[in-house]
Structure 1
């Protein structure tokens, strides 16, 4: 219909609708007559992905785009071209003033998360929107319509509210010791959640009759409605209620429809069973749905969570009621007495430490139980004259004043009373003295909710009030004198006129002239007298300001010219009064203008006073910076006609108090920082033992927020087997006030339980415990070592006893049998002696290794000859296996021949030992890449992956389910240490059921140099690694080549760090496909040092392609297990798959 109008082109569905709408029937008129401002607004909205509506003309005819079309729901597309009042009859009464203000005044509005109750899906719905209303302005400045940009925030607002309900339940999960208290807390939460749960019923099954139920908790329901709901539940129960059942059409099906919170009747409800644990409560929870929200997936999720949370609170309370009832009874009296003493002492200290007058009155006869020094000084009394006496005995003059009756009112009502600038009269030796105070009466309640004391705080403001009164009186007096001067001047003018007339008639009026002269003289005397009084009043006003101890300055006019200023103010900014008078204040201290001009000018324009507290200021004087904190009062200065002509500023220096507070807060922050910096779990608890702080280490270890951990307490994380003893020990410590020591297992975020040593000490002040400070030290490794030690001692005792038993047996046989067999027995005894000798030598070597005293004799020797000797030695003791030595290269090596022979021998004996069903062991030696390689291969049982990395640990032995092997588990540990001493490395390749190959490599040159092949800003290559910027993506391609050890890994890692920084890449493809050997010694360095450095440089994603080597693969995974930081690491077996992952990651 309007295809020739460019501004209506495009715009999706709404663009098409606008083109086919007959606009001539609307107040907007035909589009070809639309003003340019409307055309531009429509074009903007149709081409925007943001929800936009336009309300045009006096009736606010509605136009909108596709993004906005979801907002009116079922009213779309009917709403297009309709007046706003017709589209939104349910909202227009509230919206119309805003729209008309925009149209008439050009006023813009922004309403974040504004509640709007829309009728768009057949019922009144609770909705929230973040919207703006802006004028659409024509070229001539007129406003033709309203531009409405809007985002619906219903989901965010409602779900935030629902999450707060869930959090409230979580906070109460472990806080109830009885079912009754749990029900009370559940009721409080439900009663505060009526927008989402306008009614609820908690029904418990009768223990005798599982089909009978009774309501124990309800809200938003009448008794009759509760009975109807009960009947519905019984019907549901007979059908074996499952989580997620809904009750629909309640308004139709119920005789007494439910109306709660919202004016419309409730239509839907959710019913679900609750049960848990040994202390279970079985029953059903009914949750009414909001009349203004229909149950959808989000609502069901919310209801399901609330039902689960309700069951948790109830069942935890039931469990607690059973387990702690007896214990609570024993502790009750002692705990109450301790808490009372502690609270009373803490209250007394707080009162005595207050810098303002403060006291506590007990009983309705107002006994002063606690009072501080400022209060006694206010009354001109000593503390001894005040404490322990009745208020009206101390100050009988108060009986005829209002204060006793006000105190009685606080006692009877339980409501606080606060008043400012109240007159109070005190009797002094000099007579009756008037003071002005601001006071506050706050009730204290006993456990039964009755008022048993009143906290009275006061502030003596007499000086401030009198200063202000004198200023006001002086100002009024000055104004009166000004009026007298004006009147006198007028009289003088009149007299002069009369004198002139008299001179013209001089001859005829000599007597009148004399009279006039007398009147003139009197008028002049009055003028002089009035001027004198004016000067005296001005001087009194200035003297008052000059002598004030707080800074005072009077500023006038738009330039804020200094009219009056005292020395106290000048001292605050490092100036004398002569430097300030008559000048614009911010010409003298321009550096203060930014902070204070914006405060002063509104006082002058609005006439409303302003007060600021603890306000920071600074000014410059020569080369000195003067700074501090002020309490400021800005008072408008008015003339007699009420006109504000200036601002009177009162400045009280509070720098010392503010800095003391800052030091206190800084100390608290430093203490928190210190506790969070300690690399172990640190916590504090209240005197009653309740946890009230945990440091960040605790939160990180448990994978929970500090608030969750504090709410749950340690009990939720201690191993169930350790919990009873730990609770008992903690209770004993709380009762005795002595140090608490315990060992128990704590559950970490990954579900693993680790042993910890817990120590807590009480902090005692004035004989009372104020806080418990505790630490949890991880002793898991110590526990494991203890277990290994015990296992080792058991093994060692067995292994050492076995050859001794054999020797003893053969000696007995030699005594009993034919001498011709002595040779055989001697040979067998000798074998047992050799076995015993080996065990003892292994133990001695371990001892030397631990002490750093294992000696090495490094010198050149025939390496291939050493291998041959080792093979021959082991072959002599093995009749079941043929040990095949592939012809090694002739090689001279610089090292300890005997120690390296010990390594080879150990590898060979293990190969024989762990391949009992095989008959062959292969040993090979070759030189490659600057090192000598040795491999020992067996065809035995093989080794599982979980055992491979631990084989070289001290005392570690593999126990096969079908056989056990002798030895102390020290051989490979000793071999590993010998190889490390020679700068060598080792690794294993194994396949369970097929055998294992043990490798080691010894460098032919110590500190092998890295040969750099090519290096640039985006490329690096050496003998171990190649790094390049990908040509198809924004990542680095890294290819490791050949044998890798600790040094080569660290060198390559630092090269990668350099290129991440220079190229800005935040993704890496780390390809280990061509890696030979293992770099397990670098695992911890990679995870704990290198990954954090890379993350700081910008690394976000790390694709790791495994080496074919099992040992290398396990080492890589170990480095990720100990990795610190948030870099995402994924392992791949195919480099192409790894590249695909990197390519599809969003930047």
Structure 2
């Protein structure tokens, strides 16, 4: 036998896949002949391309036979490998009109050509494709002269050209849109940008949606009359373009076969019209769709992920611009509304100035006369009441004056009148008004005010309010240590410093200290009372002096408020400056502030144990306002033993010594507020049963509901009547005592029950059948009292005279609740029995299981006119009783939630693909239970199997919320899985995977 060895020529060695293809190709059947006969120049060029990493080809001979290397395969696409050894005119027939002239110049004139990023519409993958290539044709000399071929190197610029084009569109789309205040400007700008890119936007239209009229109105288009200017969303045109679907499902949709279905459409930069379009939902900063963008797609590009992402970026950019416009418009409207509200508020405060002051004058005048008269004419209680009334009337007057000061400042009607004063002495006198209260509180007041060389001009009334508000604030939040007031001349300014050693201010709160109505959260202090406008008013008054105010503070170390006002008169309006001192100035304001401060001093209470007799309950009053504590104490003292505390923290200390039967607590307090106190009491087993009545100044139904939501037993809004408070206290204490009596009875019953359980547990252990015995005992013990409740309530109802009474209504509620409880107990017991370790798996015919289930539901199926379809169900290895329960619950569930002509379909198939959690060697059967009922939202598909979970109102559909949880546990007992799918109004689908 003769062996032959084929020797591969050196020029064909290597070259990867193309080297192998060239070596194995039947060249003898081509004009080139066998490769051994090729001219040397051709061999050299083939060697060059096979060893190159750049896409290259050689066209040889008059026919331009095609040879190419591995990198060039990506350019050929679907033409590889059929394009090897074929004339170039056949390989590239779709672009030959562009390529042939260049090849002719090269072959006939021996001149090379060069093209950069030339557009060529190639058909390489079954469709005409937009491509861009940079390439050069170089003539190849023959061995005997002349030009015998072409060698070409290629660079694919397609991604660069299309990417730059799209990036330019996105960049231009975002230009000049930040400050746009009109959506029509956004639409016009967007359409103009689309017109500049006709390659990617052969045509485009933007529609704005009006959900009220159910229409889409065209607000921009690259071409006139492409689509209708107005489309009804329930019309055939809307259906063709899938507008309702895009809006409802909120997703981008592709419209195909445009040429057949819609005729010629604008083609943009191309010679042919697009056959596909996108309908893209636009969101303007909200979940619902506000506009739609319809774009004709480039007919020479497939809608791949990159191309689709480009359009999604366009939609996002458009949505973001619209969102900015709508946000700007909303902000403008809000600003206009706030200006109008502010104007109305200012006018309101100005107009009611007289209405506030008149009744206050009529209260304070008589009170002053009474308190200035014969004290012996009043009892001690009456005199204390008069003093309380005067204090709080003065406090109300102070608040009214502060609010009116604000209204005048906002209305630009507050004009300061500046007089020359001895600022040091004035400030010393103002600080001295607080000395008694500060020293009575066990603290020190330090005053260091240096005289000024130059005269200082101030508005005396405003300066009083500045100093007194700062001192009042320092006193309120300082419980020990020192409050100091200093006044110095510094660089042509009078600098006032009010420093304290109080609780300090957190760093994050410092920037907000002079904002109106701002109050530091969870701050301590003598009281939580206040409007939150004192410091804000101080700032406004300082600004009227052309001055500045700041604060330095550290938590636990105290705070320093620094006020600085310029000296002299150059900075002041000339018309508001007087050169003569105001010798007639008189003010009661320091006395008012001092009295309020003195009343805040909490005298050291003598710690004593409250002695409570059995018939007189102990009531604890918690309020940071001493007058309110005194008033409530006097009100309740005749009927109850009363203890008091100034805040929640002190209240807990009192409760730890002796438990009250009732707590009455204010909501807003320092240290610990009423809500926190409530949570502490209800969260502790020893105090959880103590009823709590919350008192709050927040009025309205929402505030009352909020009070109950936090766990309060009752809620009263200030001001309240004494009779109402006494009645509510009486009711809560009565309930508490009844509850206590009931607990004692229950504890006794619990002891008896515990004894029974111990006896039964011993019996269960002996029988080693704990679960079944427990189910039996629980069934008897729980259902027996329920039967008695139903029986005796029915007897009582029958014995009640008349029908339709309130009592009848209550009895019906009791009976329906007892019936539901009976069903609930049954389902719970069924659920507990599913863990029976002795349950055995046997071959179970699911078709027979279905037959038994339909027999059980025969009457209900007939009543509802239901149709249940299910044939060819297999035999599985399972627990018959549990599988019967599975079918019963799923079919019963479908019957219950199918309101009209129920159709229930049960099918079974062997499956290879299963959910990932079941993946393995085990084969599964898939059971599907499909109905046409009310369905459910898919977001609840996991929660639906949770025990006691209900997605529908109890009144509309009876049930216990255990049925589907039973199904899940049964399927898991069988080492399978159950899934739920649903859509509102379109039925539910339950899929069960069981091992085969």
Normalising by structure 1, report the TM-score: 0.28
- Structure in which a larger fraction of residues adopt strand: 1
Relative contact order (alpha carbons < 8 A, sep ≥ 6): 1 or 2 greater? Answer: 2
